[in-house]
Chain A
């Protein structure tokens, strides 16, 4: 649309994603027909992506405070106290729609965007994680999307020199036309050097740094606020292109500048670029802002005000500086060979005024732009109960089930992926991907350790959104606990379908209720997050297919002494204890899906009191030095958890015959929550006794040793055999043409 004069009217507003009612509101705020640039500003600021108009009412119900929370939601990322005057700063964000259209760049720029959210607050990024959902492995584009997304995450993260230390991957046909790419970054800063985004100081210069502005990503935020149709792939021009080299320079330059006292406020230019950064910074500070677009560094000639305000070119930041410090700042950015331009000033008008080539292209009052942004309490349907579990029988037996499950897409080794991510750069990675239930990264120059994980079980969320939401939080808490760390807080990435459909809205609200309940019970508040709606794909017949509800949780915990952390590799000898109660819950289990071919039954119950009691016990045992290895029992149940410990180490174990009074497949593959496996020295009696005293269910599960997993039947599976089954999936998938 470059150069073309478009008449601004309701029809154009609809094209930009605004409803007739929302456009009416624009007209009443402006008191006139807005200019094209003004309409562009309203449409992106009021897009679902930027305004959270369908979700805000419900997000407010989540617990966001604790004594260790320094900044909760509302800043670029969440900030928690990790001791010694240091803070961890972290957030997770989605880049789903772009990753379907252009997997490599979509995923790469997802990593870039979340990195900027973290270092813009003054933190050096120390770890990246991700949560990925792909379509069925045999679906036509899955292979290409997996390949592109993994290359994109690696290509960006490896180059900026931030280790990618963890993540999760699921496959399900519900993601065929809409994969999920959720990227999380964790950084560390001094508590007295945290930078916020509220602009202040009338007359202070507004400074643009980083890459030049081009015509890429225009209306990206609007694109990601609508469902896909069959023409989705034609939206490639809305996907941005990342340059991790420039991002690396930007990190170093910003951190160098942040060591001075030049910065008043800073924010990255993410979704909706210059528009959202300038509007939000001025809005939060209660000031006005004048921008002169002629000063904006531009990649190509002839860009219009509309294009510059809506461009989502990557690797750009907006800052308000102390006027007497601009020369110091300029010298730093010149050293790093980055653009530096004063593009505006703060004013007392309360308006954003955009000038270009001598014309005022936009003049919008900021308060109504924020205050009158639409908020919807969208209608909700009754949730439907999942299909009944149905008859349980075991057609293949334990041994065959185990071999099938360890090779299944959701449980197969992720080494093919991890081996493309640099997980050691920085020299602080204590537990690499697959080494423990949560990744462990030491905080440089201290003995502090951060425990990091991403978790969600979408099939539970689909069966019961409330239980699924609670389970995602509980599993993140459990994974952190299983390393010995104290869980502190979460970031959430809520991926759902079209909120205008009552059944989707019902899923969303129930999942948040479940999450909130778990966060409260476990003292695990939400400090940052992101909502991604409209994750649906319209089929040629007009019906849209929604993804499974996927409230991905990124959890962060801390260890005072990182050397106390434990991994999951089975030691050479000792006893394996099972902590927590086993009821044999097979509803929505992986075994049920892979062996009986059904996704039926209720999601497992989440008993938060039991979670807390069992987890606190496990953590205390680890910190007391009584535990050689620990692994939570999750997807696939006890037997899979045991097999995972065996494959992570090189020694086996001999399983006891349980006197459980339940079907063997229910006992070994049931997915009851709040359970852990502990490898302890000797016969485990001391630990078992301590568990008894703490009211924690415990039983001896196996004696550790040998090089095989010996089943209760006496059947023997060598470590090598298990690994062969476990490692086959990804190479086979990628070799397929």
Chain B
């Protein structure tokens, strides 16, 4: 699997993502500078976490207009696989590749803590190593992760099985109205969604930071293992 990680000014979790991809796939990903105007031959593009352009204007808004994002958009249109985590998810919504938007956390504070995610859709390259209803742990670290979209969009996401992950308790209970179970206040406790073709996934928590027992667990590994299996040529 050939993976590329896009680096914007202010991106800061590209190294975490590279470590995770390398440790699961055995191959180091390439780093792609945002000003480049063409893409190498890739199976997966990752938009990692961080504060691209300092989160100024709006999280992800300026990164969405970088030269390389034009190529990323074409890559998505051509059926390419893209994973956007945290700031990467914000950028995907800002470019319109994924619907909705990520607002300030409901509690108006930056949140850095472990959360639990319930797998809502196991039939995707990102989730195939889980079963629907599985619960796994992932660190979250963001100030703007409160997912919103209009009701029609939410219903469509729901109806089309495009909600990948929801925030949940460790036992799998979902309650969007509970500030502990749904820490950033996301609508319908949505933590991650898929594109129509299921090949683009945006999510707020960081599976890449939980792939090594030494760092507290391997809950994030199935995502990368699934991708490798799906995308190996």
Contact = CB atoms under 8 A, between A and B. Distances in A.
Q: Do A and B bind each other?
A: yes
Interface of A: 151, 154-155, 158-161, 243-246, 248-249, 336-337, 418-430, 432, 442, 444, 562-563
B112 A424 contact: yes
Given A336-B9, A425-B12, 19 more contacts: A158-B143, A159-B55, A161-B13, A245-B10, A246-B54, A418-B112, A419-B112, A419-B113, A420-B112, A421-B110, A423-B112, A424-B16, A424-B209, A426-B15, A427-B16, A427-B212, A429-B215, A430-B216, A444-B19
Interface string B33-73: 00000000000000001110111100000000000000000
B10 A248 contact: yes
Contact of A248 (B51, B212, B215, B216): B51
Contact of B206 (A154, A424, A430): A424
Given A425-B12, A425-B141, A245 B112 contact: no
Nearest to B112: A422
A160 B215 contact: no
A243 to B, nearest CB: 7
Contact of B54 (A244, A336, A420, A427): A244
Contacts of A337: 9
Contact of A424 (B53, B109, B139): B139
Contacts of A563: 214
Interface in B61-116: 109-113
Interface string B2-42: 00000001101101100110000000000000000000000
A336 B54 CA distance: 13
A89 B16 CA distance: 22
Contacts of A246: 54
Nearest to B212: A427
B120 interface: no
A427 B15 contact: yes
A159 B13 contact: no
A422 B215 CA distance: 14
Contacts of B19: 427, 444
Interface residues of B, number: 30
A420 B109 contact: yes
15 contacts: A154-B110, A159-B54, A159-B55, A160-B12, A245-B9, A245-B10, A246-B54, A248-B54, A418-B112, A420-B112, A425-B16, A425-B209, A427-B212, A428-B215, A442-B214
Contacts of A243: 54
A421 B51 contact: no
B124 to A, nearest CB: 24
Contact of A159 (B20, B51, B112, B216): B51
Contacts of A424: 16, 112, 139, 141, 206, 209, 215
Which 4 residue pairs are nearest across A and B when measured between Cβ atoms?
A: A161-B12, A245-B54, A427-B16, A422-B141
Nearest to A154: B110
Contacts of A249: 9-10
Contacts of A154: 110, 112
B12 A420 contact: no
A400 to B, nearest CB: 29
B117 to A, nearest CB: 16
Given A161-B50, A244-B54, A248-B12, A430 B209 contact: no
A1 B158 CA distance: 62
Contacts of B51: 158-159, 161, 244-245, 248
A155 B109 CA distance: 10
Contacts of A432: 216
A245 B206 CA distance: 21
Indicate the member of A161, A336, A427, A562 with the most B CB atoms within 10 Å: A427
Given A161-B50, A243-B54, A337-B9, A427 B20 contact: yes
Nearest to A440: B214
